Structure 1
Amino acid sequence: MGNRRNFIKKTTLASTGIAIGATAFSAKSYGNILGSNDRIMLASIGVRGRGKGLMENFAQMYGEGVRIKTICDVDSSFLEERVALAASLQDNNRPGTATDLREVYDDKEIDAVIIATPNHWHALSTIWACQAGKHVYVEKPSSHNVWEGRKMVEAARKYNRVVQVGFQNRSISNVMQAMEFLHNGGIGEVYMARGTCFKPRDSFGISADTAPPASLNYDLWLGPAAYRPYNEKRGHYNWHWHWNTGNGDTGNQGPHQFDVARWGLNKNEHPIKVQSMGGIYGISPEECSQETPNTQTSVFEYADGKILEFETRGRYTNHEANLGIKIGNVFYGTNGWLEVNGDTWNAYKGRDTEPFAGSNMGAGAAIGGDTSFLTAPDSKGHFGNFIDGLRSGNPKDLNCDIEIGHTSTVLPLIANIAYRVGETLRFDGKTEKFIGNKEADAMLTREYREPYVVPTRV
């Protein structure tokens, strides 16, 4: 109990800007680089839905020196089921359980954590992990708002932690190949990128507020978010569609394609302008508590005039491009266009209707006779890449370091702000603030609920 109280005391101090474990974690632990034969101990935080999938993927790496030591979720009702699943994948080694992530951070044997909580917990759980000397794999979007995302970057750098964001396209060989093709001038100069998230969603209904289930620590589930009485329609998974905890589909499925769009444009900077419009169509507020739009069109302009478009459609719709894209990307260049659908891509010259290069065409036709760029880069996948980064201790070995993940996450976040204020907004990428719009600036952060406060000084 003494260790537990000390840890809680330290986390409270962290909310005022004092780092967790300032004395508990030495320079030796910060500088530790795991050897190729060292067993990497992981904790999986948030193990419903996507979290279950992440846990499975890492548990399957048991033979490569990876072990899930602890499974943590604020809802205890399915922990035993997840324990059994993990044990079946790692030679019957059963992980322990926790319902409070602070217990995980207090365990010095854990090297890294996998975070698949609701969006509003991503930033604080990552910052606390870095302060406690843990490396982090955090799901997309990397943060719930822009300001806390920058704090994640600062924490990773200050504590020399490896932090990977779950933009898995960054580690798919064929997608890596398509990006290299674009960057090598495969369709000329790319001047516009388009991302699509066409994912039909039906009404999930409406219900009265109730007491939370006995298995759920609701205070901890809310964490940094503003207090609202428990309502099952704002709880598990439905949190995506309420501003207090989620970011809608533009900030749910959308971040993957935002990331690919920015990658293809080769933009390692923020746009200077954003506008977004849409609404909730086909579902009435009397039948559903959804707050985020199910249909949304967003457009971004960069300093050199290049354009990034994004479209979210949550109702009945057609597909786009020759590959029948619903969730994917299209790029437009001065000499042609390119489509990406999952791990398949095709490129077209001018007005041609047949592709001249693509993932299924081998070396195909090439620019200036050079075919080398059409060889798909080697990839161990996003999870393997994270483990390699842990072993090297070098964030530069990651395919999606927190800085990359943050830059891509900013796009859907500021699109949602433009939608909510109903104006075209100008953005200063250096300060990560809007120009001349206090209402929009206020949405770049939030009021945090004690003691779950993202510190100004990480």
Structure 2
Amino acid sequence: MHTFHINRRHFLQGATASLALTAFGAHGMDIINPTKTLRVGLIGTGWYGKSDLFRLIQVAPVEVVALCDVDKNMLNEAGKLVSQRQKSGKTPRLYGDYRKMLADSNLDIVLIGTPDHWHALQTIDALKAGAHVYVQKPISVDVMEGEAMVAAARKYKRVVQVGTQRKSTPHLIDAKKNIVDAGLLGKVSHVEMCCYYHMRNNGNPPVVPVPDFLDYEMWTGPAPLRPYDGLPHVRWWRTFMEYGNGIMGDMCIHMFDTVRWMLKLGWPKRISSTGGIYVQKEGKSNISDTQSAIFEYDGLNCVWQHRSWGTPANPEYPWSFTLYGEKGTLFGSTMSYDFVPQGKGEKIHKDVVYEKEKYPEDLKEDRIELNAAPATRLHMLDFLAAIEGGTKPIADIEEGHISTASCILANLSMQTGRPIVYDPGKREIVGDREANGLLQRPYQQPWTHSDPKRV
């Protein structure tokens, strides 16, 4: 047990998110009486890996002792930035192989900010090394990876927080408490979710030699080795199914996870999806540019739609969810929410919370998502409270798995042309041998896929 204390009683009682807004809004986020400095390592020192790490440094008495990346240039730059941000001023030890970092460092916490195809192996190895883990979403690229991650977290009795920080987003916490839980919507019988961002990186860059500062084979790891056509960082890798699950796996998971949290939903009864590359056929990208999916529950369909072309259905909410209730409608996004009552009644609007005055260093950070920073700080505090209290965090690995796997299963439905019914107890798709064969992707040697029965 790590002996540090968080000065907010509700976190120790299971991190009731609905209280987070009032608890932290006036007084900020305080950690008191730290009696042990937590040893932290980061795997994947790119944009979001560093962003998560810097949010943790802002709210906790940590010492970042190790960083790992296969890009030496990015790794060295991250080392300098961390030495400037952490109180000790020390530069962490730098590694090119995460396995050596885990073996050397005796870490309390490991943050994982690598591309999706690495999340499962690195999470499970970090858990085996005795660390608690904060892993970015989506947690996995196939369903069996996710099952193995949940099994490993339980076996090694460690906390795994998933970077689905909408659950820690102040204005969305407010919406859940004061709109949904307060009954203003009444019975919700339809949900729509969408992403209309033009985010599908596409093009035809030539194959070129791998630069000497990048270990491309290690970057690729268990995924298929594509011909090298430039640095895969900053979204190029996301345009290939080899490394992820497209916009469905990247963006739907956030909104679907938020909806499940707000409405207390578990696994969908049935999932169906159609789509493909309908418009943007000119480049190498192999992820869908147009896709619809339905996640079915009793008396409720949660419908997803993305297009990486054209205009959004609602320009105010281009990446969002909409809850349709008998008494009104709730629009929600990372930037705001709007409640519109049925008939007479008062409309309610809330905007995202920024903390630029309290954390002025945010304004100097390259590529920071200022709207997401307060949510990530709350998410980190919830993670720490779960470690301290021996409880599950708000974005526990099992919840992250349900949301991730549901999006992966939607892609399998699109691929097979059939609806998918997944039985989480048996870890199989009901009555579909072909689809069951797609629950686990083949790994490239020498990497071995984790088995949930033998982690």
The alignment's TM-score, normalised by the length of structure 2, stands at: 0.82
1:337 maps to 2:332: no
323-332 or 37-46: bigger deviation? 323-332
- The residue aligned with 1:282 is 279
| CA–CA distance in structure 2, aligned partners of residues 202 and 141 of structure 1 | 17
Q: Identity across aligned pairs (percent)?
A: 32
For the Cα contact (< 8 Å) 2:269–2:295, is it kept in 1? Answer: yes
Distance in 2 separating the partners of 1:131 and 1:184: 42
DSSP 3-state at the match of 2:70: coil
Aligned-pair distance for 1:436? 2.0
CA contact (8 A) 1:193 1:262 kept: no
Q: Give me the whole-angstrom Cα distance separating, in 2, the residues matched to 1:295 and 1:139.
A: 24
Judge conservation of contact 2:64–2:82 (CA < 8 Å) in 1: yes
**Residues 311-349 of structure 1, C-alpha deviations (whole Å, 9 max, x = no match):** 1121121342xx810111110112221111225222222
Q: CA deviation at 1:208?
A: 4.0
Give unpaired runs (5+ residues) of structure 1: 1-31, 361-377
What code does the residue aligned with 1:109 have?
A: N
Inter-partner Cα distance in structure 2 for 1:355 and 1:216: 56
Q: Which residue of 2 aligns with 1:347?
A: 339
Give the match for residue 412 of structure 1: 407
SS in 2 for 1:252: helix
1:379 positional shift: 9.9
Partner of 2:354: none
Regions of 4+ moved over 4 Å: 233-236
Aligned equivalent of 2:320: 328
Contact 1:182–1:190, Cα closer than 8 Å, also in 2:
no
Q: Which residue of 2 aligns with 1:78?
A: 74
User: Does residue 33 of structure 2 align to residue 33 of structure 1?
Assistant: no
What SS class does the counterpart of residue 136 from structure 1 fall into? strand
Structure 2 residue corresponding to 1:402, chosen from 397, 401, 411: 397
For 1:192 and 1:389, the matched residues in 2 are separated by: 33
From 155, 160, 163, give the equivalent of 2:157: 160
Q: 1:172 to 1:78 in 2, by over 3 A?
A: same
In structure 2, C-alpha distance between the alignment counterparts of 1:156 and 1:169, rounded to whole Å: 22
Evaluate the alpha carbon distance shift between residue 420 and residue 111 of structure 1 in structure 2; reply closer, same or farther with a 3 A threshold: same
Q: Check if 1:318 corresponds to 2:312.
A: yes
The answer to whether 1:90 aligns with 2:81 is no
Q: Is this contact kept in 2: 1:112–1:136, CA < 8 A? A: yes
Equivalent residue for 1:185? 183
Q: 1:230 aligns with which of 204, 228, 231?
A: 228
Q: For the Cα contact (< 8 Å) 1:254–1:412, is it kept in 2?
A: yes
Residue 441 of structure 1 deviates from its aligned partner by 1.5
TM superposition shift of 1:158: 0.3
Deviation, structure 1 residue 50? 1.5
Q: Please give the residue correspondences for 1:42-81 in structure 2 after superposition, counting only pairs within 5 Å.
A: 42-61=40-59, 64-81=60-77
Deviation by residue 1:91-117 (Cα, 9 ceiling, x = unmatched): 322112111101221134311111011
Gaps of 5+ in 2: 6-33, 352-374
Secondary structure of 1:253's counterpart equals: helix
Change (3 A) 1:222 1:106: same
1:365 alignment partner in structure 2? none
Which letter maps to 1:176? I
1:216 aligns to what? 214
> CA RMSD for the aligned pairs?
2.2
Residue 68 of structure 1 aligns to a residue in which SS? Answer: strand
Partner amino acid, structure 1, of 2:289: N
SS of 2:214's equivalent in the other structure is coil
Q: Which residue of 1 aligns with 2:449?
A: 454
CA distance in 2, matches of 1:58, 1:142: 19
Q: 1:433 to 1:349 in 2, by over 3 A?
A: same
Report the AA paired with residue 439 of structure 2.
L
> 1:352-409: per-residue Cα shift (whole Å, max 9, x none)?
5x7444537xxxxxxxxxxxxxxxxx996112222222333x242x111111111111
2-side partners of 1:330 and 1:238: how far apart? 30
Verify: 1:359 aligned to 2:355, yes or no: no
Residues 346 and 228 of structure 1: CA distance in aligned 2, closer, same or farther (over 3 Å): closer
1:271 aligns with 2:268: yes
SS in 1 for 2:317: coil
Hey, what's the Cα distance between the residues in 2 that align with 1:233 and 1:85?
21
Partners of 1:184 and 1:445 lie apart in 2 by: 41
Aligned partners of 2:349, 2:205: CA distance in 1, in Å?
49
Give the 3 Å change call, closer, same or farther, for CA 405–329 of structure 1 in structure 2: same
* Structure 2 counterparts to residues 385-396 of structure 1, below 5 A: 385-392=382-389, 394-396=390-392
Deviation at 1:275, TM superposition (A): 1.5
Offset, 1:440: 1.7
SS at 2:271's partner residue?
A: strand
The CA distance in 1 between the partners of 2:134 and 2:56, in whole Å, is: 11
Q: Name the SS for the 2:176 alignment partner.
A: helix
- Residue 139 of structure 2 is matched in structure 1 by 142
Measured in 1, the distance between the counterparts of 2:120 and 2:43 equals 13
User: Are residues 345 and 144 of structure 1, via their aligned partners in 2, closer, same or farther at CA, if it must alter by over 3 Å?
Assistant: same
TM normalised by structure 1 equals 0.82
Q: Indicate conservation of the 8 Å contact 1:137/1:166, yes or no.
A: yes
State how far apart, in whole Å, the 1-side matches of 2:70 and 2:235 are: 14
The structural deviation recorded for 1:51 is 1.5
C-alpha distance in structure 2 between counterparts of 1:171 and 1:236, whole Å: 25
Between Structure 1 and Structure 2, how many residues are aligned?
399
| Cα offsets for 1:217-272 (capped at 9, x unmatched) | 122111121334333376663221212111111111221111112223320x2112
- SS of equivalent to 1:225: coil
- Whichever residue aligns with residue 247 of structure 2, its letter is D
